[in-house]
Amino acid sequence: MKAKVKTNDVILQTVTNVVAFIIILFSLRLFFSGHYTPGGGFIGGLMTSAAIVLLLLAYDIKTVATILPVDYKIITAIGLLFSVATGAGALLFDVPFLTHAYDYFHLPLLGKTSLHTAVLFDTGVYLVVIGVTMTIIQTIGVSE
Amino acid sequence: MTNLLILPILIPLFTAIILMFISKYVKVQRGISAVSTLLTVAASLVLINTVHQHGIQTVNLGSWVAPFGITLVSDMLSALLVTTTSIITLVVLLYSFKSIGVERERFYYYPVVQFLLVGVNGAFTTGDIFNLFVFFEVMLMSSYVLLVLGGTKAQLREGIKYILVNVISSALFVITVAYLYSVVGTLNMADISRKIALVDQPGIVTAIAILFLLVFGLKGAIFPLYFWLPGSYYAPPTPVLALFGALLTKVGIYSILRTYTLFFYHDTGFTHEILGILAILTIILGCIGAIAYWDVKKIIIYNIIIAVGVILFGVSTMNPEALEGAIYYVVHDMIIKAALFLLVGVMIAITGTANLKKMGGLIKHYPWLGWTFLVAAFSLAGIPPLSGFIGKLLIVRGSFAAEAYVGAGVVLASSLLVLYSVIKIFLNGIWGTPKEYNGASKGDARYLWMTSLILVVLAVCFGLGAEAMRPLFSQAAEVLVNPDLYIDAVLKE
């Protein structure tokens, strides 16, 4: 086996530190703009996982696991629970499954805002996409 | 309650999610999945009762009115199939407790079984052709996982084959739905039927009908699209095999039954004749396979193919009596196939081999197992008081009425060969000289046998109580014969 050459990824790591945040912010923007403009839970989740994958490229799996100490399989399950529970919430009001509700609220800072239960459903999608993508990538990454 | 018919889908879905959180606690997982599947069975029984009392149940998801949203429709056919599916899953779960092994149980076995139940129940209940595709995928992805879970060499090899075939057939499904959508411009099944009736099924719709036959034939294993089934079903462990054998092909059959009675009933000369010919060839090929092998699993696997042929032949005649027989036979076949796979699994657990020539004399130490198997075998072949008889009788009578004599003859002749194939197992495996076995202990074998006994008892009751069940099946067949009932229930006009 060849002797391990000590590499120095200082440029990659420094850039990643800045860029990962920009990517995550952009993914959140995509996520929240899904109702009126292109975007939504799926693309938002994919882009958030892209930020984490960039971290994985710049550092190693162990470091990223200390930065984000989460089990992505649990994230997937939580996301599913969010989506299904949002749909099943309709059962409590005896209306058909997946019936959504919305209303306008006056929030401090934001002013008149419409809040819609579809966002909760989309949050579930967002979490499932992150959970599944990261589970796949990490599982492939650690298996020999 | 508006959402009753969604419960058989929602309960397993919730259970699967909850089980994902506790994958390491095997005993808790067993308890939760058994209790929730029991709830699913209860919900589906209530559903049968409601459909029987008040007619077809529909729910428009998200409160969007019929052709624009997804509608779930539960007529008697789907309610019966959902109930049968839930009961079989419950029994297979109980069987798995002592059979599947802790390693697999820790690795998300129970959540995946629940997801399979979601997919199958959803496919039986949906009233939207694209939603049917989605539930097909839910079911197929769970079956991919169940097929390869454990990672033995045979499972991986057959898993690749199975995934390849199903990915291709799913792509064909999407293409077919795209063609249909470009012709009729809707995805709601009742609305599709209405639009096809308006244009009186031109040639392009007949072509789409044949494409649907190809797609569902690949899922449901008809001749000549059954080639993947014997190998793929041979690989997984017994409880998974029982689930596959009892449920998966039946979803394909249900889809053919639904599309050929709801969509394409205007010009039956071409489509239904092809279906009939393929069904007869399926029976013949299945019979050849069933008598050729000396392997207990292979024999029962080929019996699945025979049953697929018999049911689809009943469908192809489009005769009310034969359709009723086909429905009866689907339910019977789901129960008895699961029972037979589980019983054969007990034999394999005891003897440690699937080869019939290495077995023998099980009746000496396991008389209960032997006689249960004999009852199940007679029931499969259709000996009069048992459950296989009525369905086949109705199919044969219906096809005589429709003057399809060749098919009726083949169905009758196939019963003999079915009987021969299972009696071969009985005579060589259970009769004969006893041998030394070092498989499962007697206590474990007794537990496995007792869970499979539930299904055999159910099959016997199903045969003896045929008269009491008859109104349910007549009601199910009525909707197939008269699709306007379905359309009116969904579109409410």
Q: Give residue-wise pLDDT tens across range A40-71.
A: 999 999 999 999 999 999 988 888 989 999 99
> Which of A97, A128, A139 would best serve as a mutation to test chain B binding (most B beta carbons within 10 A)?
A97
Asked if the model's pLDDT at residue A1 lies above 60, the reply is no
B59 interaction partners in chain A (CB closer than 8 Å): 96-97
Residue of B nearest to A92 (CA): B3
Structure confidence at residue A25 as a pLDDT band (50, 70, 90): very high
A80 interaction partners in chain B (CB closer than 8 Å): 17, 20
Alpha-carbon distance A90 to nearest alpha carbon in chain B (angstroms)? 9
CB atoms within 10 A of CB B481: 15
Alpha-carbon distance B9 to nearest alpha carbon in chain A (angstroms)? 11
* pLDDT average, residue stretch B383-407: 90
* Binary contact (A94, B13; C-beta < 8 A): no
* Binary contact (A84, B21; C-beta < 8 A): no
* Binary contact (B63, A99; C-beta < 8 A): yes
Q: Which of B2, B17, B23 sits opposite A96 (nearest CB)?
A: B2
Alpha-carbon distance A99 to nearest alpha carbon in chain B (angstroms)? 4
SS3 of chain B: the string is CCCHHHHHHHHHHHHHHHHHHCCCCHHHHHHHHHHHHHHHHHHHHHHHHHHHHHCCEEEEHHHCCHHHCCEEEECHHHHHHHHHHHHHHHHHHHHHCCCCCHHHHHCCHHHHHHHHHHHHHHHHHECEHHHHHHHHHHHHHHHHHHHHCCCCHHHHHHHHHHHHHHHHHHHHHHHHHHHHHHHHCCCEHHHHHHHHHHHCCCHHHHHHHHHHHHHHHHHHCCCCCCCCHHHHHHCCCHHHHHHHHHHHHHHHHHHHHHHHHHCCCCCHHHHHHHHHHHHHHHHHHHHHHHHHCCEHHHHHHHHHHHHHHHHHHHHHHCCHHHHHHHHHHHHHHHHHHHHHHHHHHHHHHHHCCCEHHHCCCHHHHCHHHHHHHHHHHHHHHCCCCCHHHHHHHHHHHHHHHCCCHHHHHHHHHHHHHHHHHHHHHHHHHHCCCCCCCCCCCHHHHHHHHHHHHHHHHHHHHHHHCHHHHHHHHHHHHHHHHCHHHHHHHHHCC
| pLDDT tens for each residue of B370-381 | 999 999 999 999
The answer to whether the pTM exceeds 0.90 is: yes
Strand partners, B74: B57
Alpha-carbon distance B107 to nearest alpha carbon in chain A (angstroms)? 12
pLDDT of B233: 93
ipTM of the complex model: 0.91
Asked if the model's pLDDT at residue A4 lies above 70, the reply is no
Helix (H) or strand (E) holding B342: helix B320-351
pLDDT of B444: 85
Q: Which of B10, B21, B63 sits opposite A88 (nearest CB)?
A: B10
Residue B432 DSSP symbol: S
Across A44-53, B175-184, B305-314, B349-358, least confident range = B349-358
Q: Which of B14, B21, B61 sits opposite A97 (nearest CB)?
A: B61
| pLDDT tens for each residue of B33-44 | 999 999 999 999
Asked if the model's pLDDT at residue B438 lies above 80, the reply is no
pLDDT of B385: 83
Structure confidence at residue A38 as a pLDDT band (50, 70, 90): very high
Q: Which of B2, B17, B23 sits opposite A95 (nearest CB)?
A: B2
In Å, what is the CA distance from A127 to each residue of B13, B107, B118, B133?
17, 22, 21, 24
Chain A interface with B: residues with Cβ < 8 Å: 73-74, 76-77, 80-81, 84, 88, 90-91, 94-100
* pLDDT average, residue stretch B414-438: 88
